[in-house]
Structure 1
C-alpha cells in the first residue's frame, strides 16, 4: 500500500483552510490513491475552533485521510512534512496598505521558515498563500537555508484562474478551452495578467485553436479593462464580502500543489511565484511569478517568450514593487 504523506496546513481554523481541507482529504490534490496525514497548525486562541474542524474532517469518513493532528506547535506540525500550505496570515482588510500587511505578517513567516528548516523533510514542497505571498515566501526560504530555494513558491494561481475565466466569459467559451494565460510578478495590484501567448479553442465556430488576441480582436480591452479587472479582483471581492477570497483561493492552492506534484500537460504551462534566476531580465532572488512547466515535481521557467514593450513596462513595475517589499521586510525583521 502507498505510504501516507504528511501535509501541513497553517491557519487551519480559517476560511481558506476550511475550503482547502476537503480537497486534500478527498484526493483532489495528491491523487485518489495517495493517503495523507493532516497536520493542522493554528494559534492557541483558535484551538477550540480547530477542534470543530477536526470533528468535521472525521465525519467525512474518507479512506485517504489517515491521521489528523491539530496543534499550535510548529515543531509538531512541520515534523517530516512532505508538503505545506502556508495559509495562516493576518488577512488583508478593506483600506489596509500592503506595507502594513507586510509588517504584520513578516515575523510569522520567519518563524515558520525556521520550523521548516529544523523539522520538515528537505524535499518538502512549500506553497505560501498568506499575503503578501511573494515576499512571505522569500522570507520563509531565507530562514530555511537547508531547504532548496526552489522548494518555496508563492500562489499566483488564483490570478491565473481569474484571468482565464474572464477571457473565457468574454469569448463565450468554456473556461477549459483557454490555455497558457500568464501572471507575471507580484500577487498584488501591480501583477501583469498576460494573454499574448495564450490560446483558445474555437472549434465550435470552425476556427480551431487560435491565439487569444486574435480571438478577442480588441487590444484596447486586453491592455486596459482586462488587466485592470484582474489586478483589482481581490479588492473587489473584499469590498463585496468584507473578507478576502476564500473558496477561490483554496481551489487555486489545490490546483497549484496538484500540478507541482503531478506535472503539467505537454504544451501547457501554469503561473507560480518562484525565486527568480534572472529570466526575462527580472532581478535575481526575488519571488516573481513566471510561466512554468513541471515534471517530476520540478518546475522550469518557460523560456524564449517574446516580450513586447507594453509587457516589459508592466514587468518592470511589478518587479520594482517586489524590490521595495523586500527592503521593507528586512527593516521589519528583528536581528
Structure 2
C-alpha cells in the first residue's frame, strides 16, 4: 500500500457526488492499492446532509479510505490535495441569462482557484464538472497562477460516453468495441460529437453507419442528452456524470492505451486552428499523467462549421467571464 493521497470533492452533498464518492473510495479511480484521504467541501447550509454522507462512507468500510474530512472551508478542503473534482457550481435556473450564470460561477471558482493556488499540491489534477464547465475551468485556472494551466480540465467525457453508447446501440454491439469518438468544443448544446475518426469492431464507424445519421440525429441526440434526462427524470444526470468524472481522472492518472484517445476540455494551444487560451474539448492521449492533444486528424467542412459554432460560444463566455473577473 502506498502513502495516502488527498482528494477533494466539491458539492459533496449533492447528487453527482453521492455516486462519485463510492467510485473513488472503492479504488476504481486511483487504484486498488492507493489509500485515500477524502475532503468533502460544500456550503454551510449543507453540512447536515454532508454529515450523513460521511456516515455512509464510514459504513461502507472501504479498506482504502483512511480519513474523511467534511468542511465548508476551502482552505481545509484543498490542503495538499493531489486531485480535485470540482462538482459544485451554480446551476442555471429558469429565466437566468448566461451572463448571470457566469457571474455567479466566477465568484465560486475564484474562491476555489485561490484555495488551490494557496493550499493544493502544485501538480494537482483538477477536473471541473460543474457547468458551464469549460469556462469555469478557465476561471479557476486564472485565479491559480502558480499551478500550470495544463492541470485544469473540464469534463466532456460524459458526452463521449453518450456518443459511444448511441453508436453501440445503433450497431447492436458491445460498447467496449466502440472507440475514438470525439467531443470537440464546449460542454453545451454547441459541442460537436464526431464519429469520423471512430471505430466499431475494428472498422471505421463511417463505413458502418450512414452519414445522414452521423451528421443529424447522432449529433443532436448527444448535444441534447442532458436535457432529455432532465425531462424524463426531473433531475439532472448524476450517476452517468459521476461515472464520467471517474473515467476522466482515472485515465489522467493511469494513462490511455496506445492508439486510444479520450475527450477532455483542456487549454487550447492553437491546435486545429482553435484560438489559444480557451478551454476546448479535444481528443487527447495521456502518458505519465500528462495529456497531449492528438494531432493530424481530418476535419471536413461539416465538422469545421460545427467547430466554428462552439468556438464562438466559448469566446463569448470567456469575454463575459473575464469582464466579471476584472470587475471584482
TM-score normalised by L of structure 2: 0.98
Equivalent residue for 1:240? 232
Equivalent residue for 1:140? 140
Equivalent residue for 1:80? 80
Across the aligned residues of Structure 1 and Structure 2, the Cα RMSD in angstroms comes to: 1.0
Shift of 1:82: 0.3
User: Residue 3 of structure 1 aligns to a residue in which SS?
Assistant: strand
Equivalent position to 2:308, from 313, 316, 322: 316
Shift of 1:331: 2.4
Structure 2 matches for 1:213-252, cutoff 5 A?
213-216=206-209, 218-252=210-244
Structure 2 matches for 1:178-197, cutoff 5 A?
178-197=178-197
Task: State how far apart, in whole Å, the 1-side matches of 2:115 and 2:8 are.
Answer: 12
Shift of 1:243: 2.0
The change in CA–CA distance for 1:239 and 1:19 in structure 2 (over 3 A counts) is same
How many positions carry a matched residue from both structures? 327
Contact 1:6 1:83 in 2 (8 A): yes
Shift of 1:90: 1.8
Task: State how far apart, in whole Å, the 1-side matches of 2:195 and 2:61 are.
Answer: 42
Shift of 1:98: 3.7
Gaps of 5+ in 1: 202-208
Task: State how far apart, in whole Å, the 1-side matches of 2:110 and 2:195 are.
Answer: 35
Gaps of 5+ in 2: none
Shift of 1:94: 5.4
Task: State how far apart, in whole Å, the 1-side matches of 2:138 and 2:279 are.
Answer: 6
Shift of 1:99: 3.5
Task: State how far apart, in whole Å, the 2-side matches of 1:60 and 1:94 are.
Answer: 37
Residue 266 in structure 1 maps to residue 263 in structure 2: no
Shift of 1:101: 2.5
Equivalent residue for 1:210? 203
User: Residue 230 of structure 1 aligns to a residue in which SS?
Assistant: helix
Task: State how far apart, in whole Å, the 2-side matches of 1:226 and 1:144 are.
Answer: 38
User: Residue 292 of structure 1 aligns to a residue in which SS?
Assistant: strand
User: Residue 208 of structure 2 aligns to a residue in which SS?
Assistant: helix
Contact 1:93 1:242 in 2 (8 A): no
